[in-house]
Amino acid sequence: MPKTIILGIESSCDDTSAAILVDGVMVANLTATQKIHEQYGGVVPELASRSHQANIIPVVHQVLQQCGLNKNEISAVAVTRGPGLMGSLIVGLGFAKSFAQALNIPIIEVNHMQAHVLAHFIDDPKPTFPFLCLTVSGGHTQIVLIEDHLKMSILGETLDDAAGEAFDKAAKMLGLPYPGGPLVDKYAKEGNPDRFSFPIPAIPSLNFSFSGTKTAILYFLRDQMKENPHFIQENLPDICASIQKNIVHILLSKLKKAAQETGIKEIAIAGGVSANSGLRNGLIELGEKKGWNTYIPQFQYCTDNAAMIAITGYYKYLKGDFAALDMTPLARWEI
Ligand code: KG4
Ligand code: ZN
């Protein structure tokens, strides 16, 4: 029987990524990250689109080379249709459409947030259904109930900033370059998380809010800097550890509530912020206390990558769920 070979393409934000999945097994996953945004303190959409344009063909070419495949062997191309930055999505989608049309193969539309969750199906151990996933990225913060690979619903989400955005904005206030989340994590490892405290929002539902944390950090730093202009340099690890503790606490307390309300003990995390050591360790600890089976993605599958697009594409391929070549990108798209 011929093999099912899926080419995954991801370009929703500032990472251009391509991956190859053969009969459900990941054989190559390559990502070109865009350093250009560092100096601007955030992703500049127009610069992101231009970098995607420059990167997409070399990245696909290299990923094919890496696994010794010819493009004519590919069964289908799976591509992120949204949510994301419109210009960035257009590049990936435009490339995927041309590729599918030229090779006369199906094109599969993939929801980026659904793909973050399905990253758990790339390797073992895989969660069993139903499970809960806390999906935390630069643009989203969601608690998702997953009943089947392609059947998901959102139980709670952020009312303002996403968790990654909270990390990045806090980092920016501390003078750290974009994306600041990984740097806050790095400094937090050497700091005392109990040195400073920030407010926990009192929201009764499974929704999140990070705007209070952001404002509290801003005022806190402003007041401290008035007294000591070197406050940040002198206390960076303790500040980072205390901010991280606050964000992780907000995330895990809602996850705990969702588990309690649904009675589900299969619990996963996904998205860029699931690379955070405080969140990873906090989930393991909480899982042991609560008797949960916890699932934490490998680092390479936390932040944006095409492997998760390819695996989602694979499940859709098995169902014959193909998209039309005239589909348009969706900047917003609920799972
Ligand atoms: O999923 P992702 O790569 O892109 C989006 O879909 O948004 O997530 C990127 C976000 C950024 O906000 C970044 O700062 C955050 O994930 N992030 C982290 C860590 N690694 C990435 N935040 C905290 N700690 C980390 N180790
Ligand atoms: Zn993402």
Give the closest residue (by CA) to ligand 1 atom 16.
272
Q: Is the CB of 246 under 6 A from ligand 1?
A: no
pLDDT of residue 1 exceeding 80, the answer is: no
Write out pLDDT tens, residues 262-271: 999 999 999 9
Q: Is 87 in the pocket of ligand 1 (CB under 6 A)?
A: no
Query: Is the shortest distance between the CB of 274 and ligand 1 below 6 Å?
Result: no
CA gap 127, 141 in Å, rounded: 20
Note residues around ion ligand 2 (Cβ under 5 angstroms): 137, 304
Mean pLDDT of the chain: 97
Per-residue model confidence as pLDDT tens digits over 219-258: 999 999 999 999 999 999 999 999 999 999 999 999 999 9
pTM beyond 0.85: yes
Closest ligand 1 atom number to CA of residue 303:
3
- 206-226 pLDDT, tens digit per residue, is 999 999 999 999 999 999 999
When the candidates are 1.10.3720.10, 3.30.540.10, 3.30.420.40, 3.40.1210.10, the CATH number that belongs to 5-117+302-318 is 3.30.420.40
pLDDT at res. 304 = 97
What is residue 332's predicted lDDT score, i.e. its pLDDT?
96
pLDDT in tens, 254-303: 999 999 999 999 999 999 999 999 999 999 999 999 999 999 999 999 99
Q: Where in the chain is the domain with CATH 3.30.420.40?
A: 5-117+302-318, 127-297
Q: Walk across the sheet containing 151-157 and list its strands.
A: 151-157, 141-148, 131-136, 266-270, 293-295
| Chain position carrying tokens 């039309």 | 324
Would you say the CB of residue 179 lies under 6 angstroms from ligand 1?
Answer: yes
CATH class label, 127-297 = alpha beta
How many CA within 13 A on the CB side of residue 91?
26
Instruction: Determine the atom of ligand 1 nearest the C-alpha atom of 275.
Output: 26
